[in-house]
Amino acid sequence: MKKTLPGYTGNEDHTLFILLRKRDKEAFSMIYRKYHRYLYALAMKYLKNTHLAEDAVQHVFVKLWESTHDIHIEVNLKNYLYTMTKNYILNYIRDNKAKVTLSYEQAQFDMPEEEDILRTMEERQMKELLYRGIDLLPPQ
């Protein structure tokens, strides 16, 4: 059975946020349970990597916990968390764009070209034919 907070009816994010500002761990847990999947889906949509998406969501919730006294939510909590997550993702993409581009270019450089693959296959087939021919020779 889920634990509920006094005065919380299920959709009163404002009440949860007031309790969170008082460093209420249960309020934080309820916010986490309520929005984790939503934020994770958002992060996955753009990052397309489970580890990066989980890191993004974790970062947002850590930032929320650490900044409770500095945060003044003018809109609803869901929109605020959405914006935090979106900004984290955009910053991540911007900061890692050079790394991603370099990794992509390196991967293309490291990929064997079609001619190399064909040459390797032909050499392997030629060696196999040579060894078969040697095996067919009479002993000396």
pLDDT of residue 1: 41
Q: Residue 45: how many CB atoms within 10 A of its CB? A: 10
Could you tell me which of 36, 34, 35, 52 has the C-alpha nearest to residue 44?
A: 52
pLDDT in tens, the chain (140 residues): 445 545 444 457 878 888 888 889 999 999 999 999 999 999 998 888 899 999 999 999 999 999 877 776 666 888 889 999 999 999 998 888 756 555 555 555 555 555 667 777 788 888 888 888 888 888 87
pLDDT of residue 82: 93
Helical (H) or strand (E) element with 126: helix 114-136
Sketch the domain layout of the chain as residue ranges: 13-136
- Provide the CATH number for the domain formed by 13-136 in this structure: 1.10.1740.10
Could you tell me which of 8, 54, 55, 1 has the C-alpha nearest to residue 31?
A: 8
- Distance (Å, whole) CA 118 – CA 109: 18
Q: What is the pTM of this model?
A: 0.60
